Structure 1
Amino acid sequence: MISYPISKINIGLNITEKRPDGFHNLETIFYPIQLQDVLEVVESDAFEYSASGIPVDGDGKDNLVVKAYELLKRDYKLPPVKIHLHKNIPAGAGLGGGSSDAVSMMKMLDQLFQLKIQPNKLFDYALSLGSDCPFFIDPRPVFARGRGEVFTDVQVNLSSFHLILVKPSVHVSTAEAYSQVEPHKSRLSLNGLVKFPVTKWKGNIQNQFESSVFAKHPEVKEIKNRLYDEGAVFALMSGSGSAVYGLFRSEKRGIENSFPKDYQIFRHKL
């Protein structure tokens, strides 16, 4: 069985407070984009995991697709499987690729072995693997609160824009990014700000992670500035970084020449 886990961008991200459980409450808009990995799982005589495409740091057993399999195996009599993950979504980018892979893995196992996992149980499994994992169960534009798992549908349509996504050769640790941010509640909610025309987003919709990430990795700030120089209507770092996206009114050709050759650049008509 094969699936194609998608990714997301964050339209704004406010860290509002630190919770007693050690997590943070936040506000963000999750918006799905069709930058996809490829995930295959088949029943096998022995468990096996392999990967290709964009390299992922760390041991294979720490990959979220393996953790998703082990999580379900504790509650269901799962046979050994052979997993292959082809990565197109860069890690350490703020695009939710690993979270999306994990949720796709659970949904495939549910279907392949007829586990009949109830929706609320799948949600709980997903949340135990990562705060943004539940979004990928039914990815659609949402205003997210809490840890990022409390959803309200939001009317955001970017179909008239072209997206340019730039990932520099730096990896931003999510844990490190959270340790550097100072939580505070914004005067205006993202749920209201996102209703403005996209041309009004610049200067109004912010990502609170940018200040600390830009200070440590100035090349990430330079990407955002360059995207605006190239004509982006709106540009923002996604999640805790390090990928930065720009929204353009028309297809932008030759933009690769504006960035170092080791940067990963993706283009997509939204």
Structure 2
Amino acid sequence: MNENDSAEPLFDFLGLQNKTILVMGVANKKSVAFAISKTIRQAGAKVIYTVRSESRKESLARLLGDSEMIVCDVEDQSQIDSLKDVLTDRGVVLDGLVHSIAFADYPEGIRPFHETTRQQFLQAVDISAYSLISVCNALKDRFSKNASVVTIGISTTRMASESYGFMAPIKAALQSSLAFLTKSFSRFSEVRFNSVSAGLLKTSASAGIPGYVDSYLYAEKVIPRGRAVSTEEVASTAAFLLSPRSSGIAAQSIVVDAAMETNYFDAKLIEAVTAQDID
């Protein structure tokens, strides 16, 4: 018997064994939040979930099994406060938080950015960006001293992608807040705030965005390896950022796009476009 045949458990490289992580944003099995929770559970972490509503809790019962789920609609501050009370009453100490929450209302489909209504924009900011600030403020006494907070951003907030509507500026606000949260929390803790800035993903939520599927297929052509980023790849990066192994990384947005941003001027793509123009 060699040393690799030993029955000893594998070394806990990530250091997530027995860590308690709060995961917000699971909608179904295709959710980024679910992929992250699956990865960190495999690494030995204990996961507590928050879900938007009682109906969502019921629909996820089979997927999440006997895992603890707490209803928390982040549009309602009283529910965020209630989440804090529940965790406090149970004496829960959080070693990490996954914030994978985003919402944008497109009642008339994707329209030019300058036609975005005040209500659309402010609701999207509230749910997709401000919720991170509000939740972290409410839970500040529930975090362990060196807890890690990870949110989900996008690979670039400066590309005016028409298929993403007005969400890029919202994600820019989310990602900018990481530095300010890291700074303000540093007054009393070593909690870190980072984001996984993902390329285009195949999720149920993204599929509902008008025009997104075509952009996803285009991204597969741009990415050098010829296939899009998977939720599992995003989850692996998030798991690393949640772990003590990433203790020196704070206030950063880690881009996971399989080098898409390096390949927009691929010769074959240029040839395909110019050939169409000639025709």
TM exceeding 0.5: no
Higher relative contact order (CA 8 A, sep 6+): 1
Identify the structure with the greater helix proportion.
Answer: 2
Identify the structure with the greater strand proportion.
Answer: 1
TM range (shorter): under 0.3
- Give the greater-gyration-radius structure (CA): 2
TM-score by length of 2: 0.26
TM-score by length of 1: 0.26
